[in-house]
Structure formats: structure tokens, C-alpha cells
């Protein structure tokens, strides 16, 4: 190894060991023309092991916990490295060491080449190093456990800033990993478990933090702007209190289960928190604003989406493509095109959410066996909407100041129970929907309290319809039952137009302009008229034939 030592010495720089309070002093800055390679298992006179390393100007210590081997104040141009690495430590399982204040650049372009590489190596601390502008990876750990990588810079490498492969129980904290090129990632964990990824600043990579087949890691308090966080086939991880803005996807899970996604801030992405084929995750207490999709799920079931804020998105929360049995609870979705949107799913619970000032507050299409309960829906065009849905429960919601409070289209055998639908244009509106139960709702101060258009076999029971223009309005709807309702202070209590076989019984009427108004549209051409016309035409034809 060729070494040049700067003897125009700078004032001594003092460091406190991260392992204890021992004062370590190094006063020389070293530039190496060759890389450093240490093999903890090597033996023999010329072996490059730790015993050899401490004879070099750039290394001190004895490898104990109290006095670790220390490599510091070194600059390496690794363009000619035979190993492809700037510093490569291999097979060091039991010794303690620190690599500090080292700069490495131009390390090799191979898949496993790096500025600083640890392989089969434990108990290392890499602190305040700069591994930027390498041709592959800044920092690389392979089969290496219980190491600390903290306060380092890993920018503008061709692939990854920091990569862990099959490495567990490491602490990756307070690093910068920006502008790593091609398909690169800022921090990349592959088949690595129980690592702590915290407080890192990661920007302008393909993905800021990516986990691949990596479980039970903590990803906490990182900033990952212009690249985001991605998990593939990675389970039981905690993704907590991160910021991921201005990316295609803020946080993305693909085939990943049982993860905790909480307290993150996700804004100005195409997809805020995106799950694809990912089940049984908790998405809790996040803020996902100003994205195209705030929290979208595709082919993802049995997830908990709880107490999030998703405002100013095109879709606040969207579940699509057979995303079933999810719980959507206590969320706030405001100023979106669709507040909460479910398509082609079943068995989800939508409970106690606030969906205001959207085009659609809560929208379900081709969904069944879902429960929509306890939500507050206000100032939307459509409050709660069901399209082509069946056997859903719409219960105990408050839908006010919408154009349509509760809206059903081609939906059947749903229960609409104990809702309050006030101050809307239409309180409860059904179009081409059959065999639904509308029970014990309050529909007041609307233009139309309960409105059925081309709906048959519905049961309207025990509702209160007060202070509307029309309390209950049926058009072209047959075989419906209107029973035991309280209908007061409306201009028209019950209005029926072109309706057959309607049962109206045991309702309470008071102070309406008109209690019941029936408008039957007569056939403009009754059979007698048709027969007369046919007869006249026949006679004309006969006479014409005789002439």
C-alpha cells in the first residue's frame, strides 16, 4: 500500500469514542493510493488482518469494546482497486472497530463493489464518512450484523447509497443518501431483518428507502422526498413518522403483510400511501394530502385504515380491484373529488369518518356486504353513494348540506337505517333500486326528504320526514310499502306519480300543505280509442279499394 502523509499538520482533532468516553487523538491526514483490505481470519506473516492493520499509519486501537480498532482521516481514490472497494473488511466477527472521517470515491462498478464494504463482519461503527461518486455502491453490508452506519454521506453513486444484504440488527441513522443514479436507491435492504433505519435524509433517487424480502425493520423519522419508500415481500416492519413528498409514490407496499404505517406525512405524490396485493397492514395517523391518490389499495384485504387525514386529493382513500374486508375508521377526507371510494369489493367497514366538501363523500360501486356507519358527510355533491351494490348497511350516518344525502343507483337489498339526512336537495334518493329497507331515518329541511325514482319493492318504515317540500316522493315505482312514518310540516307529505300497488298505512300526518297527493297518468290512447281508430282505417281502406 502506498501512503502519503500530510506532515503540514493541522491542529489535532479530538474525538470521543462512540463506545465509551475514551479520548482518541489523531493529528495526521492520510491519502492512500491503494485501498484497504482487512480479513479478520487471515493468518501468516503477510496476512492483512487487524494485527497488520494497526501497524499502519491510518489505524489504531486493540479491537476491544473500550479501545476499538479505528481507521480515520483517510482519503481513497479507488479507481484502481483490485477488490473493487475502497475499504473492504471481511470475516471480522468478534473485534470492535470504527471507520471515521474517511472519504472514498471511484470504487468499482461490480454488483457488490462499494466505497466501504463489510462482509461477514460485526461490531463496526461507520461514522462521518463520505462515500460518494462511486461506480456502484456507497456503503455495503453483506452477512454483517450489529453495525452502526451513522452521519455519513452517500451521494451520486451509480446504484445505491447504502445497501444491506442478509444483514441484521444494524443501525442506519442520520445519513445523507441523495442523487444515486440509474435504478438506484438511497438505502436498500435485501433479505435483512431487525434493522433500525432512522433520521436519514434521502432525496432524488429511484426509491429513497427500499426493503426487499426484509422483515421486522424500523423505518423511522426519515425524509424521503422525490423518491419515497418501497416494500416488496416485506412483513412486520414499522414505517413511522417519515416524510415522503413529491414522488410518484410516497410509501408503496407490494405483496407485504402486517406492517405498521403510522404518523407519516405524504404530500404531492401521484400515489400517497399505496398498497398492492398487501394484506393485514395498519395505516394509522398519517397525513396524505395533495396527492392524486391519497391512500389507494389494490387487491389488498383486511387492512386497517384508521385516523388518517387525506385532503385535497383526487381520491382521498380508494379501495379497488377486490380489496375486501378492510376497516376504514375515523379518517378525515376533505376537498377531494372522491373522499372515500370503494370499487368491486366486499365486507369492508366504513365507520366514523368525516367526508366533507368533496364531489362524492363516500362512494361504493359494485360492492356488497359492507357497512357504512357513523360517518359525517357534509357539503358534497353526493354524500353517500351506492352504485350496483347489494346487501350493504348504511346506518347511523349524518348527511347534511349535500345535493344528495344518500344516493342509491341500481342497488338492491340494502338497509338504510337510523340516518340523519337534513338540509340536502334530496335527503335519501333511490334510482332503479329494488327491495331496500329504509327504516327509522330522519329526513328534514330538504327539497325531497325520501325520493324513489323507478324503484320497486322497497320498505319505507318508521321514518321522520319534516319540513321538506316533499316528505316522501315516489315516481314510477311499484309495490312499495310506506308504513308508520311521521310526516309533518311539508308542502306535500307523500307524493305518488304513476305508482301501482303502493301500501300507505299507519303514517302520522300533521301540518302539511297536502298530506297525500296521487298523480296517475292516464293512457292517452285507451283500448276503446285504439279499436275505433283501427275500425275507421279499415273502412277507409275498403272504400278506397272499391273506387
pLDDT at 532: 72
Count other C-beta atoms under 10 Å from residue 309's C-beta: 17
Return the pLDDT at 263. Answer: 99
CATH 2.160.20.10 fits 359-547, yes or no: yes
Range(s) of the chain covered by CATH 2.160.20.10? 359-547
Coil, strand or helix: which one is 287?
strand
- Other C-beta atoms closer than 10 Å to the C-beta of 459 total 16
> What pTM did the predictor assign?
0.89
283, three cell numbers:
395505516
Rounded (10°) CA dihedral 325, 397, 367, 412 = 140
The order of strands in the sheet holding 103-105 is 3-6, 29-32, 74-77, 103-105, 130-131
C-alpha distances out from residue 20 to 12, 27, 64, 97, 173, Å = 20, 20, 11, 13, 19
Report whether 323 contacts 302 (CB < 8 A). no
Q: Does domain 1-227 have CATH number 3.30.450?
A: no
* Structural contact between residues 421 and 441, judged by C-beta atoms closer than 8 angstroms: yes
| Residue listed under C-alpha cell 466477527 | 93
Q: What are phi and psi of 541, to 5 degrees?
A: -65, -45
Query: SS3 of 246, please?
Result: coil
Looking up cell 473488511 gives: 89
Q: What is the 3-state secondary structure (H, E, C) of 297-352?
A: EECCCCCEEECCECCCCCEEEEEECCCCCCEEECCEEECCCEEEEEECCECCEEEC
pLDDT at 521: 53
The pLDDT of residue 533 is: 73
Half-sphere exposure of 342 (CA within 13 A, CB side): 31
DSSP string, 36-100: EEEETT--STT--SHHHHTTSTTEES-SSSSS-EEEESEEEEGGG-SSS-SEEEES--S--EEEE
Predicted local distance difference test score (pLDDT) of residue 522: 46
Name residues of the chain where pLDDT drops below 50.
Answer: 1-27, 522-524
Residue 520: which of 502, 498, 493 has the closest Cα?
Answer: 498
Q: What is the pLDDT of residue 203?
A: 95
pLDDT for 504 equals: 97
Percentage of the chain exceeding pLDDT 90:
87
What per-residue confidence (pLDDT) applies to 540?
76
What is the C-alpha separation between 81 and 503, in angstroms, rounded?
A: 91
Residue 18, pLDDT score: 36
Query: 327-330 long-range contacts, Cβ below 8 Å, gap at least 24?
Result: 327/303, 327/351, 328/353, 329/304, 329/305, 329/353, 330/306
Q: What pairing do the DSSP bridges indicate for beta strands 13-16 and 23-26?
A: antiparallel
Helix residue ranges, H only, 206-329: none
What's the pLDDT score for residue 369?
A: 98
What one-character-per-residue DSSP string does 405-460 give?
Answer: EEEEES-BS-EEES-EEESSSEEEEEES-BS-EEES-EEESSSEEEEEES--S-EE
Q: How many CB atoms lie within 10 A of CB 218?
A: 16
Q: How far apart are the first and last CA of the chain?
A: 126
Amino acid at each position: 500500500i502506498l501512503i502519503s502523509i500530510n506532515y503540514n499538520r493541522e491542529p489535532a482533532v479530538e474525538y470521543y469514542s462512540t463506545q465509551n468516553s475514551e479520548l482518541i487523538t489523531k493529528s495526521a491526514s492520510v491519502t492512500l493510493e491503494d485501498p484497504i483490505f482487512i480479513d479478520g481470519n487471515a493468518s501468516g506473516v503477510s496476512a492483512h488482518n487487524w494485527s497488520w492493520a494497526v501497524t499502519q499509519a491510518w489505524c489504531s486501537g486493540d479491537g476491544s469494546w473500550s479501545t476499538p480498532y479505528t481507521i480515520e482521516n483517510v482519503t481513497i481514490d479507488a479507481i484502481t482497486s483490485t477488490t473493487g472497494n475502497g475499504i473492504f473488511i471481511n470475516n471480522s466477527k468478534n473485534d470492535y472497530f470504527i471507520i471515521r472521517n474517511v472519504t472514498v470515491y471511484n470504487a468499482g462498478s461490480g454488483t457488490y463493489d462499494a466505497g466501504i464494504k463489510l462482509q461477514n463482519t460485526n461490531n463496526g461503527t461507520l461514522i462521518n464518512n463520505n462515500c460518494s461518486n462511486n461506480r456502484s455502491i456507497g456503503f455495503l453490508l453483506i452477512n454483517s450484523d450489529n453495525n452502526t452506519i451513522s452521519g455519513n454521506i452517500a451521494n451520486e453513486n451509480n446504484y445505491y447509497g447504502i445497501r444491506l444484504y442478509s444483514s441484521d440488527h444494524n443501525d442506519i441513522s442520520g445519513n445523507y443518501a441523495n442523487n444515486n443514479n440509474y435504478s438506484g436507491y438511497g438505502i436498500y435492504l435485501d433479505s435483512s431483518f431487525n434493522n433500525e433505519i432512522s433520521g436519514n435524509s434521502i432525496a432524488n433517487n429511484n426509491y429513497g428507502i427500499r426493503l426487499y424480502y426484509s422483515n421486522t425493520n424500523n423505518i423511522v423519522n426519515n425524509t424521503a422526498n422525490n423518491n419515497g419508500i418501497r416494500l416488496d415481500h416485506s412483513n412486520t416492519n414499522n414505517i413511522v413518522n417519515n416524510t415522503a413528498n413529491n414522488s410518484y409514490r410516497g410509501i408503496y407496499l407490494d405483496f407485504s403483510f402486517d406492517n405498521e404505517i403510522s404518523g407519516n406525512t405524504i404530500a404531492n405524490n401521484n400515489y400517497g400511501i399505496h398498497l398492492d396485493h398487501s394484506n393485514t397492514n395498519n395505516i394509522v395517523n398519517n397525513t396524505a394530502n395533495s396527492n392524486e391518490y391519497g391512500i389507494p389499495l389494490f387487491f389488498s384485504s383486511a387492512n386497517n385504515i384508521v385516523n388518517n387525514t387525506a385532503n385535497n386529493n383526487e381520491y382521498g382513500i380508494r379501495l379497488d380491484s377486490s380489496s375486501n374486508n378492510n376497516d376504514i375508521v375515523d379518517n378525515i377526507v376533505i376537498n377531494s373529488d372522491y373522499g372515500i371510494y370503494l370499487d368491486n369489493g366486499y365486507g369492508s367497514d366504513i365507520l366514523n369518518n368525516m367526508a366533507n366538501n368533496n364531489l362524492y363523500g363516500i362512494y361504493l360501486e359494485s360492492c356488497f356486504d359492507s357497512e357504512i356507519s357513523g360517518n359525517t358527510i357534509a357539503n358534497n355533491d353526493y354524500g353517500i353513494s351506492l352504485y350496483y351494490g347489494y346487501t350493504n348497511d348504511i346506518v347511523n350516518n349524518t348527511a347534511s348540506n349535500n345535493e344528495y344525502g344518500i344516493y342509491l343507483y341500481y342497488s338492491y337489498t340494502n338497509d338504510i337505517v337510523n340516518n340523519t339526512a337534513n338540509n340536502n336537495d334530496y335527503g335519501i334518493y333511490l334510482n332503479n333500486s329494488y327491495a331496500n329497507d329504509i327504516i327509522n331515518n330522519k329526513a328534514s329541511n330538504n327539497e325531497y326528504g325520501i325520493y324513489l325514482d323507478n324503484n320497486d319493492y322497497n320498505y319505507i318504515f318508521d321514518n321522520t320526514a319534516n319540513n321538506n317540500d316533499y316528505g316522501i316522493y315516489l315516481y314510477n315505482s311499484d309495490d312499495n310499502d310506506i308504513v308508520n312514518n311521521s310526516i309533518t310540516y311539508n308542502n306535500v307529505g307523500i307524493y305518488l306519480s304513476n305508482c301501482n300497488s303502493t301500501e300507505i298505512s299507519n303514517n302520522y300526518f300533521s301540518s302539511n300543505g297536502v298530506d297525500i297527493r296521487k298523480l296517475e297518468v292516464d293512457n292517452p290512447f285507451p283500448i276503446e280509442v285504439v279499436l275505433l281508430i283501427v275500425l275507421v282505417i279499415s273502412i277507409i281502406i275498403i272504400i278506397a279499394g272499391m273506387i
